Structure formats: C-alpha cells, structure tokens
C-alpha cells in the first residue's frame, strides 16, 4: 500500500507525523490555564501569515483536552457575532444542553434552543452566556474559546468587553486569539480595551532548522546532510516547510534541485507572498524594494545605510519603517546596523511583485 503524502499544505490543518511542536510556548499556556488560579485567562498568538498560528492553537487545544477532560473547546470565527456563536456552541453540547433544560433556561428569544415551558426567558447575549457559564461552573468544567485571525472589529471588541466581565465574576472561561501582528496591536490599543492591553502575547516565529531537518530525514528518507540543506531553504517558515516537504514527497528526485526550488518559490508567491505584499503600505513596500535591490546574492544581510542611500527619506524615517517591518515579522536585525528577510525567497518575489504595484 502506497503511503499518502503526509505534508499538508492547507492553512491550519495539521498532521501529527509532520507537525513540529513549539513546546515552550504550548507549555506556558497549558500550565497557566491548568493552575487553580491562572495568571491570565487569555493569550494572544501573533505572527506573520503562514507562520503556523492556526496549526499551533489546533495542536495546543488537542493537548489541553487530552490532558484534562473537563475542558470544553469552542472554536469561533472572528467574522460572526461571537457571543451568539459561543452560546449556540454551548447549547449544542450534549451534557450542557440537558442541564440547561433541567434548569429551565429559555434562550428562544435569541433563536438559541427551544422554548421551555415555565422557563426564564433570556433576551440579552451577554446575560445568556453568563447563565450558561454558571452551569458550566457547577459541572466543574471549563470553556476554552479560540478565535482565529482576530482583528479590531466591533464584534471582537464587544466580545472582549463581555469576556472581561465574566473573568471578574470568576466564571470558567478562557480565551486564545490568533492574529497578524498589526491586527493584534490595533486590537490592544482600541479604546476601553484595558483587558486586552494586559493580555500576554505569544509571538510565533520561524521553526528550528534542526527540528525541520530531523523531520525531513525521518519522513522523506534523505540523509541528515541533505535534510539540513532542505531545512535551510525554508528558513524555518512553517508554510515553506510543509510546502517543500509536499513537493519533494511527490518528486522523483529527493534533493534540492533548481526545479523543486522554483516550484516552491512560485507557490509561496501565489498563495502567501502576494497577499502579504498587498497588505503593506506604500512606504513599507518602498523600503522592502530598496532592501531587495541592495541584497547581495552571497549574503542575507543588508546594511541599513544602504537603504538610506537609496531613499529620499531621512534616517529617522527609515528607522521607523525598519522597526515597523521588524514588528510585523517580515525582517529582523541579525546585528547592529543590518537587517535581513525572515521569509525565504521573499526578496525574489518582491522584485516581481513590485511591477504590479
């Protein structure tokens, strides 16, 4: 029987065989949530697009439930009415639903559940979820809510305000949100979002090349030296790791030849880099164009002074864009006065993408 390709390239989907754990980050959240008194009931997970944020919380929630069956995990879409969606998910839970009926909690006015004869009708989402969480507490269970791609929207701010109230009332609800760096910062700086300003943030960066090498060696069947060369191509970018593994698995040649690399670059550009590029401001694009043009093929490092020389902007303004792009996870500073791209072959893509604006 021919084994199926284990390298999954769809965003957020994981395969235990190929998944690389971020053990320190996972344990930090798990240990905190399982304490009798957690230091924080919420965490934000930030990272550049394709760095593995969704896969991280998927694996994390699986581990949380595996270790402790008292958890009820509810995955919500940031595009929906979050309180109403949370209530609908809790109402659909078999154990909770029977308890709601037993306690005659009537959510029918909000279209959640059915009318209960003699029940207390509830007409406000925040009150409804509070009643549900009170039942969860009596059952000695905990609710973990995950929200992927959170951003500064009305429904997110409304949910965060209600969540803060539930925590103050010591109800058993916990929250993990993922988002792009700029969206997380915007949400934390929103008016009256003091709770979110204090929420710990976990930054999801590149995977370790040693971990990638071991996976390639074991799964693809190449030598460790060949696996190291493949890992270096990915630069630890989670999507590139899965994508390169997928391409090589289906290739007759299991080495990093030019055809494989070109296929990798093409797909990265189409499915990831094009979107990242379109989300940048004109000035951020201009900075990255100068950086790509100044990059030497023999070195990943670009002197900031070279960006200043090519630009008409002041050094102070250039440093502002530099800091912003570092904060957004697209570049990093390997040493003082120098910068480098985080994503593999991003400079090559920029030289093409700039032609389209």
Q: What percent of the chain has pLDDT over 70?
A: 94
Same domain membership, residue 217 and residue 291: no
- Does residue 256 lie in a domain region? yes
Residue 303 lies in a domain: yes
Using pLDDT thresholds of 50, 70 and 90, give the confidence band for residue 28. Answer: very high
Q: Which residues of 186-219 are buried (b: 16+ CB within 10 A; e: fewer)?
A: bbbeeeebebbeebeebbbbbbebebbbbbbbeb
Looking at the fold, whether 224 and 131 belong to one and the same domain comes out as no
Q: Are 216 and 252 members of one domain?
A: yes
**In-domain check, residue 10:** no
Find the mean pLDDT for residues 12-20. 89
Shared domain check, 297 and 228: no
What is the pLDDT, as a whole number, of residue 280? Answer: 95
User: 172 and 67 in one domain?
Assistant: yes
60 plus 195 within the same structural domain? yes
Per-residue pLDDT of 224-243, as tens digits, reads: 999 999 999 999 999 999 99
- How many CA atoms are closer than 13 Å to the CA of 244, on its beta-carbon side? 29
* pLDDT of 192 higher than 90: no
Q: Are residues 105 and 36 located together in one domain of the fold? A: yes
Q: Structural domain tally of the chain?
A: 3
> Token digits for 253?
């040649």
pLDDT of amino acid 299: 82
CATH number assigned to the domain comprising residue 97:
3.40.50.300
For 99, residues 6+ apart whose C-beta sits below 8 A from its C-beta are 135, 138, 139
Same domain, 217 and 197: no
Q: Are residues 29 and 128 in the same domain?
A: yes
Show which of 139, 168, 203 is a domain's final residue: 203
Last residue of a domain, one of 240, 256, 277: 277
pLDDT digits (tens, 9 = 90+) for 81-122: 899 899 989 988 888 988 888 887 767 766 766 555 556 666
The last residue of a domain, from among 262, 277, 292? 277
Residue 34 domain-assigned (yes or no): yes
pTM for the model stands at: 0.91
Average confidence (pLDDT) over 207-228: 95
Range of the domain at 246: 209-277
Angstrom distance (rounded) from CA 268 to CA 344:
9
In this structure, are 285 and 142 located in the same domain? Answer: no
């Amino acid at each position: 029987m021919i084994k199926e390709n284990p390298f999954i390239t769809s965003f957020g989907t994981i395969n235990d065989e190929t998944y690389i754990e971020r053990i320190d980050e996972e344990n930090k959240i798990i240990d905190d949530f399982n304490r009798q008194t957690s230091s924080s009931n919420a965490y934000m997970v930030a990272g550049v697009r394709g760095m593995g944020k969704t896969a991280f919380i998927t694996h994390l929630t699986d581990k949380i439930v595996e270790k402790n069956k008292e958890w009820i995990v509810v995955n919500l879409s940031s595009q929906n009415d979050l309180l109403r969606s949370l209530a609908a998910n809790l109402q659909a839970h078999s154990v909770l639903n029977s308890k709601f009926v037993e306690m005659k909690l009537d959510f029918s006015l909000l279209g959640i559940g059915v009318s209960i004869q003699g029940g207390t009708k509830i007409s406000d989402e925040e009150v409804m979820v509070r009643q549900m969480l009170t039942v969860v507490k009596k059952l000695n269970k905990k609710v973990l809510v995950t929200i992927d791609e959170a951003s500064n929207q009305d429904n997110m701010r409304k949910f965060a305000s209600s969540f803060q109230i539930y925590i103050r009332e010591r109800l058993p609800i916990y929250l993990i949100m993922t988002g792009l760096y700029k969206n997380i910062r915007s949400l934390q700086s929103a008016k009256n979002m003091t709770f979110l300003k204090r929420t710990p943030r976990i930054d999801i960066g590149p995977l370790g090349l040693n971990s990638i090498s071991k996976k390639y060696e074991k799964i693809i069947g190449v030598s460790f030296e060949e696996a190291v060369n493949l890992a270096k191509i990915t630069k630890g970018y989670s999507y590139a790791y899965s994508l390169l593994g997928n391409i090589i698995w289906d290739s007759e040649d299991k080495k990093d030849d030019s055809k494989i690399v070109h296929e990798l670059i093409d797909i990265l550009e189409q499915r990831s880099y094009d979107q990242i590029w379109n989300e940048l401001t004109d000035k951020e694009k201009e900075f990255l164009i100068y950086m790509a043009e100044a990059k030497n093929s023999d070195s990943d490092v670009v002197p900031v002074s070279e960006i200043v020389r090519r630009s008409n902007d002041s050094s102070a303004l250039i440093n502002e864009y530099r800091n912003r792009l570092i904060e957004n996870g697209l570049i990093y500073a390997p040493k003082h006065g120098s910068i480098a791209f985080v994503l593999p072959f991003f400079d090559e893509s920029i030289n093409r993408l700039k032609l389209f604006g």
